[in-house]
Amino acid sequence: MKKEDRKKVGLVFLVAFSLRVGISTIPPLLPMLQKQLMISDVAASLLTSIPVICMGIFALSVPFVQQKLGRKKGILVFLLVLSLAIFLRALTSNYVGLISTAFLIGVATAIIGPLLSGYIKSEFPNNSGLLIGIYSLSMGLGASISSGSITSLTSYFNGRWTFALAIFGIFALIGFFCWGKGATVDGENKGIKQKVSLPLKNRQAWKITFFFGTQSGIFYGVTTWISTIAFSRGVSIAVASYVLTFYTLSQMFFSFVIPMLMDYRGKIKSWAFFSSLMVVLGIVGLMIKGPFWFFICATFLIAAGLGGLFPIGLLLPLKLTHSPEETSAWTGMVQSFGYMIGGCIPILMGVVSECFAVENASLWFVLILSLFIVFLTSILKKI
């Protein structure tokens, strides 16, 4: 790989690193936040669901942003918005403040993600699997570091979780300066003149959208509640947060390995089917009450499966489109409606948990969604 290409890979890594930190720092603190802010399970779930839903709604504006600003400037502007939103958490010690910053985080991520996919399509047309793997790896690494260190940082700041949450804005700010200085997009001016609309009438695009939305909903649902589920099994809050870190690290590892393997062996559809079956087995494992190591094994299966499904969801629009602009439009639609679907799932898990007295009610709900992914995989176009 040429020096210039290595620099571009580094930029993709830096930008992607900050895309999940604003969301993944919340779940380990949920038991503390629920107690201090006196909020219900449903209200707590909104702290991670609001940014995901916003990622869905505002991804619809990606073609407009791309047309007006271009990929480089669009990513630059919204990296600044992302960093400011996270830094503002230092000034918010109430529920409304957390929801407001979650909204801004969702808006920024909604724009950056599809534009970054278009950048990958433009700069690495023959290595899209590898680059999507790096993209996913970086997001997972950011999520793992932030979720794994947030409780320790909160203790360091004497329980002032506002400062602990805000400090992670530094990653988006670093990405902002590095992207502004180093990013170049070949032929972007030509691409900006080519207006590409969302593929709203394309049946294949809708299949990918439901696939992406369901897997992202399961990911954010498990991310939101895995620490709470572990805590309910009798472990401490600290150990429960380590379970979340293990989950995100495992997901991160497979989100890099699986798309890289897809470039060399097997079809995307086969990998999607294999990954979705792992999620099903993992959810069933969580529903079985056994020793704690069994709980960890089930968590690992879910993380491994989702580690494959997430990059596959990102990769499908790249494989089925022919230009960077078309890729951004497809990705914008897939992530828009997909994240709207996905953002509702953690909320619904909270609702199901509160409304039904059945043990593992929320996990039964996730199991049904996992089986739906298996069905969607069976009707996807063979790639």
CB 6 within 8 A of CB 206: no
Of the pLDDT bands very low, low, confident and very high (cuts 50, 70, 90), residue 185 is low
How far apart (Å, rounded) are the C-alpha atoms in residues 337 and 252?
24
- Please list, residue by residue across 245-268, b when 16 or more beta carbons sit within 10 angstroms of its beta carbon and e when fewer do: bbbbbbbbbbbbbbbbebbeeeeb
Of the pLDDT bands very low, low, confident and very high (cuts 50, 70, 90), residue 339 is confident
Sequential DSSP letters for 122-163: HH-TT-HHHHHHHHHHHHHHHHHHHHHHHHHHHHHTTT-HHH
Give the lowest-confidence range in 207-211, 289-293, 298-302. Answer: 289-293
How far apart (Å, rounded) are the C-alpha atoms in residues 351 and 49?
13
Chain position carrying tokens 């930008």: 15
The model's pTM: 0.76
pLDDT digits (tens, 9 = 90+) for 190-208: 444 456 677 888 888 899 9
Q: What's the mean per-residue pLDDT of the chain? A: 86
CA atoms within 13 A on the CB side of 287: 16
CA atoms within 13 A on the CB side of 140: 26
How far apart (Å, rounded) are the C-alpha atoms in residues 70 and 90?
32
Q: What local confidence, expressed as pLDDT, does residue 280 receive?
A: 96
Give the lowest-confidence range in 70-84, 115-129, 296-310. Answer: 115-129
Q: What local confidence, expressed as pLDDT, does residue 11 receive?
A: 93
Radius of gyration of the chain (CA): 19
Of the pLDDT bands very low, low, confident and very high (cuts 50, 70, 90), residue 210 is very high
Distance set, CA 153 to CA 20, 52, 302 (Å): 18, 25, 28
Q: What is the mean pLDDT of residues 372-380?
A: 90
Q: What local confidence, expressed as pLDDT, does residue 194 receive?
A: 58
Q: What is the mean pLDDT of residues 162-177?
A: 95
Give the helix, strand, coil percentages of the chain, each rounded to 5: 85, 0, 15
CATH numbers and ranges of domains, the chain:
3-183+201-379 (1.20.1250.20)
